Chains A and B, each alone.
Chain A
Amino acid sequence: MSEDDTSGDDDRGLTERLRERRVTLWTLIVPPTVWAVHFLFCYLWVAVSCAKQGGFARFPIAFVAGTILALGIIVASGAIAFVQSRTPGDPPPHDESTGIDRTRFLATATLLLAGLSFVAVLFTAAPALMLTDCR
């Protein structure tokens, strides 16, 4: 058995394992929740720093780390949703009240929300990283 085959098995295994994860409304709101937490973190970190020490946040690197962490979670959530949105089984158009169609629908919605949240986190982080001033 060649190495390629092994990794192929692993990939399939991973895909299968991802598809077996439950998709619920709770997993659907992971990307927008990360966006909200990142948004609050950026605003509160600046507001508290400016109010308490009168200068811009002491650790601007925290914005970079927080943004990378948030983007990482959103990308992971989006990747899982992408795999789940392609769960095979039922025939198209995937709008029946079956388990697989429900999974595909929720996963597609999660994927779209992940895309939106990704851009939103970037747009929140850009001013925080470029306008390092309290005014």
Chain B
Amino acid sequence: MRDLTLLMTAGGVLIFVIVAALFTIAIRSRQGAIGHRGGMRLVLWAGAIVPTVVLAALLIGTLPAMRPMKADDRALVVDVSGEQFWWRVGYRAADGGAFAAANEVRIPVGRTVDFRLSAGDVIHSFWIPGLAGKVDMIPGRTNRLVARATRAGRYRGQCAEFCGLSHALMAFDVVAMEPAAFDRWLTEQRRPPPTPATLVAQRGARMFADNGCGGCHAVAGTPATGRIGPDFSHIAGRATLGAGIMPMSTANLVRFIRNAPAVKPGARMPRYTHLAPADALAIARYLETLK
């Protein structure tokens, strides 16, 4: 990729300099310095043949780089579904047990990842500029995107098809991890989160159940099995909240719990402004134990 950028830049500069030099010569020459025949020959070569040959060489030379990556047998399959306005993520059982996640996709470095992309409501588009191309997510269809991270790190993703009021607030992170760390993470994800240890977190767990949060959000190992909103089984392990729009912090959790529509216009989560701040804080403390 870097080679291609260098080649294009150097080639562009070279052509620009040649054209500028020809301009200078043409302006400074006296009339009739070049005959009709010579002029026509110049037009034919510099105007048609050379550009055609250069473009053909670029096309043939770069087409192999445009070939979509093929998924091999070892490929990690990750299901991602676009929802208004978040990302439903599913890891399959093939690697030892299926589990759900949301708004953050973790992948191992060096291994091919086969994203199976769908949508739950309207058309979304799955786009990770630093890692792979952009593929539409269409309700009723499963599109595929094959990618491979060559370096560990955090790659920002974004919905790239206007999908409603909070379209611009629908981001996510792809975290590429070293294979050993990824395997540890997989093992942790397959376990239900620990039961809350502190009093305030235990109260938060009760508030979570009493306010019906489990009707939309799932927490593995508890009666909360809702699938309307993001899965919370390991929400505290994510770096961001609200589909990549703000850092994971207690204050932001409280804000989102009490008034999600203010943070994310058009989101399906209703207001919980009737919740006392202390109760919302307790729920936030509970969510922070879900690692």
Contact = CB atoms under 8 A, between A and B. Distances in A.
Interface in B162-213: none
Contacts, number: 26
Contacts of A133: 67-68
A129 to B, nearest CB: 9
B63 interface: yes
Interface string B248-263: 0000000000000000
B59 A123 contact: yes
Interface string B26-62: 0000000000000000000000100010011001100
Contacts of A130: 60, 63-64, 67
A115 B53 CA distance: 13
Interface in A110-135: 115, 119, 122-123, 126-127, 130-131, 133, 135
A123 B59 CA distance: 8
A122 B55 CA distance: 12
Contacts of B145: 135
Interface of B: 48, 52, 55-56, 59-60, 63-64, 66-68, 135, 144-145
Interface residues of A, number: 10
B67 A131 contact: yes
Which 8 residue pairs of A and B lie closest in terms of their CB atoms, listed nearest first? Answer: A130-B63, A135-B68, A133-B68, A119-B52, A131-B67, A126-B59, A126-B63, A131-B66
Contacts of A123: 55-56, 59
Given A127-B66, A130-B63, A131-B68, 11 more contacts: A119-B52, A122-B56, A126-B59, A126-B60, A130-B60, A130-B64, A130-B67, A131-B63, A131-B66, A133-B67, A135-B145
A29 to B, nearest CB: 20
What is the predominant secondary structure among interface residues of chain A facing chain B?
helix
Nearest to B70: A133
Interface string A68-82: 000000000000000
A131 B64 CA distance: 7
Contacts of A126: 59-60, 63
A50 to B, nearest CB: 12
A119 B144 CA distance: 33
B194 to A, nearest CB: 42
A66 B28 CA distance: 50
16 contacts: A115-B48, A119-B52, A119-B56, A122-B56, A123-B55, A123-B59, A127-B66, A130-B60, A130-B63, A130-B64, A130-B67, A131-B63, A131-B68, A133-B68, A135-B135, A135-B145
A122 B52 CA distance: 11
A109 B56 CA distance: 23
B144 A135 contact: yes
Nearest to A115: B48
Contacts of B66: 127, 131
A127 B65 CA distance: 11
Contacts of A122: 56
A133 B145 CA distance: 12
Interface string A2-30: 00000000000000000000000000000
The listed residue with most B CB atoms (<10 A of its CB), out of A115, A126, A133, A135, is: A135
Contacts of B64: 130
